[in-house]
Structure 1
Amino acid sequence: MINAKTDRRVILKRAICGAGLPLILSASAAAAQDADTASGGVIGQVFDTIKPVTEAGVHGFFQLLDNQPIAFILLSLALGTLIGKFSFKTISLGSTAGTLLVGVLLSMTAQAAYDITYSIPSILSSFMLLLFMYALGLKVGPQFFSGLRKGGLAFLVIGFTVWILNWVICFFGASMAGLAPGYATGLMSGSYTITAILGVGQDALSSGAYVPPDGTSVEQVGANMAAAYAISYVLSTVLTILLIRYLPRMFGYDAIAEAKQAEEDFSGGAKDPVPGAPGALTMGMTSVGVRAFAVSHKDFIGRTLSQLAEDFPAVPILRIVRDGTILDMTDNPAVQENDIVTVRADVEDLMGKEIKLIGPESSNPLARNVPIEVADVHVGSHKVSGKSLADFGAHLSGGVTVQALFRAGTELPLGPKTDVRFGDVLRLNGPDVAIQQAAKQLGGTAILFTMKTEVLYLALAMLLGYLVGIISVTISGIPFAFGTSAGVIMAGVGVSYLRSRNPSFGGPVNEGARSFLQDFGLNAFVAVLSANVGPKVISALGGDTILWLALIGIAGALIPPLVAFWVGIKIFGLNAIISDGAAAGGRNSTPSLNAIMEESRSSVAAVPYPVSYAFTTVLALIGGYFSMILS
């Protein structure tokens, strides 16, 4: 059937052709019809997508989330972040726990009410988690090795405490409750949030290392593991996030104050961030100022820049403005009367006799608006090696001053006799052109603040860490591997550690981009995870078993890190935030680590995390295998 719109076109086409107009006009009309039909098809596709939602109401909404997983992830992120901001008596879920809670509720509602099972490919969540781990490694890298030297044994003991208590609670708790085979291993996997424990438990079944009792099939034992995993995973993840977040407060510590103290301890008292670290290329407080003066004194008129720099080294000239034009400083121009010169020096020098010799102060915007940059320069010239800062006047002309000096990633105190050696990193501030010239004389490249992030180095470093993490060695049926998460976070640690020695290593990494990868990567990982776990929770509901699974799972998740935290602060005398970070690593709970970093407003809790994380991952796999055999 031809609709009214099409019918009018046919009539118009016949009228045009009948009037003897060129055939090209009828062809144009046909093309217009095709274009309109195509656009109508696009619009129709949009309405075809929306129509089921509007017709089916809430059912259609949940079906849309199933058909469009990206919409599910974004909705969980938005609502979860919004819920995480609400607080009750200073207690809040945070964005990560909020996202997990929203995602699980959405997936459980879809399963229970409309029989819709969400399933998002795990590769997406895995990749997002790796982005988080790499970004986190970039931030904590310079502090990681100093953390190992200061508390390596304590971190291992904390991790072991978490693991052994979790194993005892889950294994003997399931035995005392009379739970069927498989539940203990599933409880360990879920309460520890290590899915790989299910894998080693399944290996014990398939290899014949564990033979189910009469009347119980291998499939039933596997289902028991999955049910215990699903119930304990959701509960333990949310509650562990809250526990780790507020552990310092529960023991009477101020998380923010403790984090600041830990940062000072691990920095060795340094005040400036190491090269490559967040906030490294910021000016901060300085006694150096910029002022402009109109030249009127005879001692300045007719003198060249080089002559003035030699006579007045404490007050370098940055810019000369003549008749509304900025002169080229590289030509070493001579100063004329009524020129406006811009000088940069310490406040005391700006108030001295030399300034009064120039002339009256000027408010000329061309002269006063001189952008001052901060840059890290790796000393690559042996000619300047061994010179003191007092001897660096010729190399730091044009208003460049030394803000900080680093050697092997450690900040050194600044003084006239402080020597500069090959391989050191000087943090300079001053006009861009002058900094670039100073960098050439120092044999290095000026690394300035940038809004860019080098994707090439990011991808290569993550690839290397990932490949190291997947290397697995099987001993007595138990696979041992470093793990991709641990591998990638160590890749980030390595890059940032080397950058602290040479800021040109690894390409630029903007702190805003790094922070975004850290926050978005983890929360997107949690959103995908919640979609896939929710349906399993529904299938595990029923009978008294669920009550035991919930109780044992919560106990196995919360008691171990609580005791381990106490061990860290009381037995080893660790800083509360450092002990908390080690407990989070021992619990293998990355979302919890993010929670304590949010609470303390610092990333220092991540320093011990990789150590206890890697150690307990191996122990958890061994424990999971034997829990299946001994059940």
Structure 2
Amino acid sequence: MHWIQTTFTQYPELALFFTLAIGYAIGKIRIGTFTIGAVPGVLITGVIVGQLNITINPTVKAVFFLLFLFSLGYNVGPQFFKGLKKEGLPQVLFAAIVCAVGLGCTVLVAKLLGYNAGQAAGLGAGALTQSSMIGVAQDAIAHLSGTATAKKQMSDFVPVGYAVTYIFGTIGAAFLISIIGPKIYGVDIVEECKKIEHDMHHNKAIVNDSVVDKTEKKSIETDIIFLSLGILLGGLIGIPALKVGAVGINLSTSGGALIMGLFFGLIHSKKPKVGLIPKETVWFLSNMGLSAFVAVVGINAGPGFVTGLKHSGISFFFAGIVVTLIPLIVGIFLGKYIFKWNAAITLGACAGAQTSTPSLGAICEKAKSNVPVLGYTIPYAIGNILLTVWGTVIVLFFS
């Protein structure tokens, strides 16, 4: 064990690939008809490996995440813009409702358990998997009245609470959306997506492929210039922040990469000779990008999870479970009975509203399709904005 810890500490890149290998193996374990799936498997493994106090540079996480989101957008760009006119406003409303429920749950649970502003903000940030809420909440706490010592204690707890609740916020959301969600709808999610693909495309393909005519000549060469420029431009448009009071709101480089992927996918569908990324490459970028991102998240969050659990108590962990699950359950029933969407779109929208990219990966893996992405993108953008703002709002409720 000492040799393993020494090796992984000196060469954290090996810890990353170890986590991917073991995580994927765990994800393939079948119990009856149930499988954990690659994303939760990798995250669980990452948390365990993280107990060896291994730190992986956050830039590694960012690079893989950008590759994943760009390929995701590229894959469904044409369908997204086709459905935007019809589904755009309802998806904005859906995301706003789910985010509002998340805020309400956070405040209510924190009030019932007697939490202070720092505990409440940490609870919301982790359970709703929105890391940007940490900095926003800490800035709001700094402007509260009270002693410097009290404010520092509250501020210091925000990332601790985040670490305790983030693990279930990710795994629990992925499980609910990919396993329980289709059961609530009472559908076979694979067959559901096949029907949608058939209705949408006729002579075009979406499943794990960019949208191109079936008659188009096959190529195996990826347009690296197109891919790199897409991520670069997406990142650049995501950086500028709109100031709302003391809160800076932006798309982030990841949100920008997703949006630019949508545009670049649309460009390729209009001009098939421009910007080709073969389906095999898209599959690799999507799966490897998400899995490596989740692995780094798990490894880096591992030590904080255990330490935070010791300091905050098991009740804080269970409080996070409540805050994670209720907005998603509300979202599933909203999509089914109020908006009357099909299961794939609703589950993708739930993942987006809670900015839970691993959940999107899990439902796409379960559905063997990228159709859920069509419900993900708009709620993801709205969720990123609202959940970030909630960092300040939560603190104000406890000021």
TM range (shorter): over 0.9
Aligned to 2:204: 272
Residue 248 of structure 2 aligns to a residue whose secondary structure is strand
TM-score under structure 2 length normalisation: 0.95
Number of the residue aligned with 1:253: 187
Give TM-score, length-normalised by structure 1: 0.61
1:226 partner amino acid: P
Q: Which residue number corresponds to residue 155 of structure 2?
A: 222
Give the match for residue 103 of structure 2.
167
Q: For 1:57-86, what per-residue CA distance to the aligned partner results, in whole angstroms no more than 9, with x for missing partners?
A: x12211211111111100000000000001
Q: Secondary structure at the match of 1:474?
A: strand
Deviations 1:177-205 (A, max 9, x none): 11233011111110111110001011113
Larger RCO: 1 or 2 (CA < 8 Å, sep 6+): 2
- Compare CA radii of gyration and give the structure with the larger one: 1
1:63 and 1:277 map into 2 onto residues whose CA distance is 41
Percentage of matched positions with identical amino acids: 30
2:290 maps to 1:499: no
Q: Residue by residue, what CA displacement relative to the aligned partner does 1:342-387 show, whole Å, maximum 9, x if unpaired?
A: xxxxxxxxxxxxxxxxxxxxxxxxxxxxxxxx43xxxxxxxxxxxx
State the AA in 2 paired with 1:105: I
Letter in 2 for 1:589: S
CA distance in 2 between counterparts of 1:273 and 1:261 reads 13
What is the root-mean-square deviation of aligned Cα atoms in Å? 1.8
Q: Which residue does 1:532 correspond to in 2?
A: 300
Q: Residue 488 of structure 1 aligns to which amino acid in structure 2?
A: A
SS at match of 2:310: coil
Task: Specify which of 520, 529, 533 is matched with residue 288 of structure 2.
Answer: 520
Task: Give 1:235's aligned residue.
Answer: 168
* Equivalent position to 1:141, from 41, 63, 77: 77
State the AA in 2 paired with 1:466: G
Counterpart of 1:54 in structure 2 is none
Could you say which structure has the higher strand fraction? 1
Aligned pairs, number: 396
Establish whether residue 586 from structure 1 lines up as the match of residue 353 from structure 2: yes
Q: 1:216 to 1:176 in 2, by over 3 A?
A: farther
Q: Which structure 1 residue ranges, 4+ long, deviate > 6 Å from structure 2?
A: none
Deviations, residues 234-253 of structure 1 (Å, cap 9, x unaligned) = 11111111111020123311
**One-letter amino acid of the counterpart of residue 318, structure 2:** L
Instruction: Give secondary structure in 2 for the equivalent of 1:80.
Output: helix
Distance in 1, Cα, partners of 2:96 & 2:199: 25
Instruction: Give the aligned residue type for 2:66.
Output: L
Are 1:624 and 2:396 counterparts? no
SS of residue in 1 equivalent to 2:313: helix
* Equivalent position of 2:135 in the other structure: 199
Q: CA deviation at 1:601?
A: 1.1
Q: What secondary structure, in the 3-state scheme, does the structure 1 residue paired with 2:219 have? A: coil
SS of alignment partner, residue 341 of structure 2: coil
Counterpart of 1:488 (choices 257, 281, 290) is 257
Tell me, yes or no, if the aligned pair for 1:450 and 1:510 is still in contact at 8 Å.
yes
- Give the structure 2 partner of residue 152 of structure 1: 88
Structure having the higher helix fraction is 2
Structure 1 residue 82 and structure 2 residue 15: aligned? no
Match of 1:466 among 235, 241, 260: 235
Among candidates 368, 382, 392, match of residue 601 of structure 1: 368
Alignment partner of 1:211 out of 127, 131, 145: 145
Q: Distance in 2 between matches of 1:172 and 1:266?
A: 42
1:562 corresponds to which letter in structure 2?
I
> Deviation digits for residues 265-321 of structure 1, max 9, x if unmatched?
443xx23338x9547465xxxxxxxxxxxxxxxxxxxxxxxxxxxxxxxxxxxxxxx
CA distance in 1, matches of 2:319, 2:11: 36
Q: What secondary structure does 1:504 align onto? A: coil
1:392-471 equivalences under 5 Å are 448-471=217-240
* Aligned match for 2:331, one of 533, 548, 564: 564
Tell me which amino acid in the other structure corresponds to 2:88.
Answer: G
Q: Distance in 2 between matches of 1:259 and 1:546?
A: 42
Are the aligned partners of 2:247 and 2:389 in contact in 1 as well (CA < 8 Å)? yes
User: What's the secondary structure of 2:225's corresponding residue?
Assistant: helix
The equivalent of 2:48 in structure 1 is 105
Distance 1:592 1:500 in 2: 27
- Alpha-carbon distance in structure 2 between the residues aligned to 1:231 and 1:524: 21
How has the CA–CA distance of structure 1 residues 263 and 535 changed in structure 2, closer, same or farther, with 3 Å as cutoff?
same
Structure 1's unaligned 5+ residue stretches are 1-57, 111-116, 283-373, 376-447
Q: Specify the alignment match of 1:190 in structure 2.
A: 126
Q: Aligned partners of 1:215 and 1:177: how far apart in 2? A: 24
User: 1:486–1:610: 8 Å Cα contact kept in structure 2?
Assistant: no
